[in-house]
Amino acid sequence: MKSAFIYLFLVTCCWALPFKQTGFLDFMMEEEGGSGLVPVTKKPPIFSPIPGPDGPICPFRCQCHLRVVQCSDLGLKNIPENLPGETTLLDLQNNKIAEIRENDFKTLKGLHALILVNNLITTIHAKAFMPLGKLQRLYLSKNLLKEMPTNMPKSLQELRIHENLIAKIKKASFQGMAQVIVMELGSNPLKSSGIESGAFSDLKRVSYIRIADTNITEVPKGLPTSLSELHLDGNKITKVQADRLKGLKNLAKLGLSYNEISVVENGTLSMVPHLRELHLDYNVLTSVPPGLPEHKYIQVIYLHSNKIAAVGPEDFCPPSYNTKKAMYSGISLFSNPVPYWEVPPVTFRCVFDRSAIQLGNYRKK
Ligand SMILES: *[C@@H]1O[C@H](CO)[C@@H](O)[C@H](O)[C@H]1NC(C)=O
Ligand SMILES: *[C@@H]1O[C@H](CO)[C@@H](O)[C@H](O)[C@H]1NC(C)=O
């Protein structure tokens, strides 16, 4: 049991960024495989598929294997009853569940992962998640939720709730959720005014936040200092305010592609001293953002498809050599009004691999 626990922990921490949903089946296989120390075929089934007098029962039409209860794609309208108490993973994706009732998860005290993606959920009872004291992963994407669920387990490490109808994130929404590492909130009808100040401040361990394809117009306030990736692509952000990134000393990737950004304030880059990748492509910048020559670690800067009309020799590189510790591995400037022949070659004097630079041509559409 101990080795299985360690294995699960490893799976969690090594589940490679960028945390794409696609690895889900692999993850189930990994869970089923247990520690890998015991051959799977020799493991006894943990609950019998034959209903005993009062033993655990595999719900009708679901498949139960080891501690995984698989009830996806069955047209279910409700959470099955009498779910086996030992279940660690419950998969209910692609059903027609509209409501989660108070006692639906009452027996599932050991559940680690709950997958409810692609249902019709509009209502979750305020106490429904309370029995799930061990839940680490909660996947609620592609539903019809108008509000963030309440009383989510404090043990949660990963919350995916993109493609819902959530317009507000309150400070209480994530209260005490100090174990969360991954948070995916994209494709919800969020506006900046709908995100309460300090909404993320309890997420002391969070390393990945994605709020893409919403209507927010600003970088949210009070982001936790543990953050290493922040993905805010496809929003309506018009300006990057330096103070919004204050204290984000662990931030390595910042995605701001497909916004309406015309200004990156002076001092923004010095707030994020360990940034390696900055994506600002598909915005309306008229100049290269300030602070790149002084930044020690930036390696990738995407600026293509903006309105940059001039690039100067001090825009990317420090005046003297050896002050930049990391080298650029990607600079993109194509699809800007600046003609590439007007960019002086000395601009890229600190870039040693010429193939890292994509200048290209600007084509008027
Ligand atoms: C953003 O606002 C527009 C206009 O009000 C609306 O049509 C669109 O659906 C909103 N986007 C999201 C993701 O809610
Ligand atoms: C930003 O900093 C540069 C160089 O220090 C300075 O020339 C420029 O005026 C500043 N811009 C603003 C808006 O403060």
* CB contact set of 16 (below 8 Å; sequence gap of 6+): none
% of the chain residues with pLDDT over 70: 82
User: Which one, of 339, 345, 346, 331, lies nearest residue 361 by Cα?
Assistant: 339
CA distance 67 to 58: 11
Mean pLDDT to the nearest integer, 332-361 = 89
Residue 71 Cα to ligand 1 midpoint, Å, equals 33
Residue 232 Cα to ligand 2 midpoint, Å, equals 25
Q: Whose CA is nearest to atom 5 of ligand 2?
A: 266
pLDDT at 355 over 90: no
**Residue to mutate, 243, 263, 266, 286, ligand 2, most ligand atoms under 8 Å from C-beta:** 266
Residue 335 within a domain: no
* 265 Cα nearest atom in ligand 2: 13
Mean pLDDT to the nearest integer, 46-58 = 54
At residue 49, the pLDDT reads 46
Taking the CA of 212 as reference, the closest ligand is 1
pLDDT in tens, 274-329: 999 999 999 999 999 999 999 999 999 999 999 999 999 999 999 876 666 678 99
* 215 Cα nearest atom in ligand 1: 1
- What type of residue is 192? S
* CB contact set of 307 (below 8 Å; sequence gap of 6+): 284, 285, 286, 336, 337
Residue 324 within a domain: no
Q: What is the pLDDT confidence band of residue 353, given thresholds at 50, 70 and 90?
A: confident
Residue 341 within a domain: no
* Measured CA distances, 191 to 195, 196, 214, 260 (Å): 7, 10, 7, 14
Residue 353 within a domain: no
Provide the whole-model pTM.
Answer: 0.84
* CB contact set of 14 (below 8 Å; sequence gap of 6+): none
* 187 Cα nearest atom in ligand 1: 13
* CB contact set of 26 (below 8 Å; sequence gap of 6+): none
User: Which one, of 225, 154, 126, 147, lies nearest residue 190 by Cα?
Assistant: 147
At residue 280, the pLDDT reads 98
Where helices occur in 75-157 by DSSP H, the ranges are none
User: Which one, of 213, 348, 330, lies nearest residue 277 by Cα?
Assistant: 330
Residue 287 Cα to ligand 2 midpoint, Å, equals 12
Tokens 């799976």, located at residue = 11
At residue 1, the pLDDT reads 37
Q: Would the CB of 153 count as within 6 Å of ligand 2? A: no
Contacts of residues 59-65 at CB distance under 8 Å and 24 or more positions apart, as own/partner, are 59/83, 65/32
Q: Whose CA is nearest to atom 12 of ligand 2?
A: 266
Mean pLDDT to the nearest integer, 85-104 = 96
Residue 122 Cα to ligand 1 midpoint, Å, equals 19
Q: What is the pLDDT confidence band of residue 86, given thresholds at 50, 70 and 90?
A: very high
* 214 Cα nearest atom in ligand 1: 13
Residue 266 Cα to ligand 2 midpoint, Å, equals 6
* Residue 270 burial class via C-beta count within 10 angstroms: exposed 0-12, middle 13-18, buried 19 and up: middle
CB 171 within 8 A of CB 197: yes
CA distance 316 to 290: 9
CA distance 353 to 341: 19
At residue 12, the pLDDT reads 39
At residue 39, the pLDDT reads 33
Provide the number of structural domains found in the chain.
1
Residue 39 within a domain: no
At residue 327, the pLDDT reads 87
Range name among 118-122, 224-228, 320-324 with the lowest pLDDT average: 320-324
Residue 304 within a domain: no
* 213 Cα nearest atom in ligand 1: 13
Residue 297 Cα to ligand 2 midpoint, Å, equals 22
Cis status, amide bond into 313, omega within 30 of 0: no
At residue 159, the pLDDT reads 98
Buried b (16+ CB within 10 A) or exposed e, 134-172: ebbbbbbbbbebebbbbebbeebbbbbbbbbebbbbeee
Taking the CA of 215 as reference, the closest ligand is 1
Q: What is the pLDDT confidence band of residue 204, given thresholds at 50, 70 and 90?
A: very high
Question: Where in the sequence is the domain holding 87, given as residue range(s)?
Answer: 58-216
CA distance 22 to 203: 25
pLDDT at 29 over 50: no
Q: Whose CA is nearest to atom 9 of ligand 1?
A: 189
Residue 209 Cα to ligand 1 midpoint, Å, equals 21
At residue 57, the pLDDT reads 78
Could you tell me the CATH number of the domain that includes residue 145? 3.80.10.10
At residue 46, the pLDDT reads 45
At residue 56, the pLDDT reads 62
pLDDT at 27 over 60: no
% of the chain residues with pLDDT over 90: 73
Beta bridge partners of 277: 253, 300
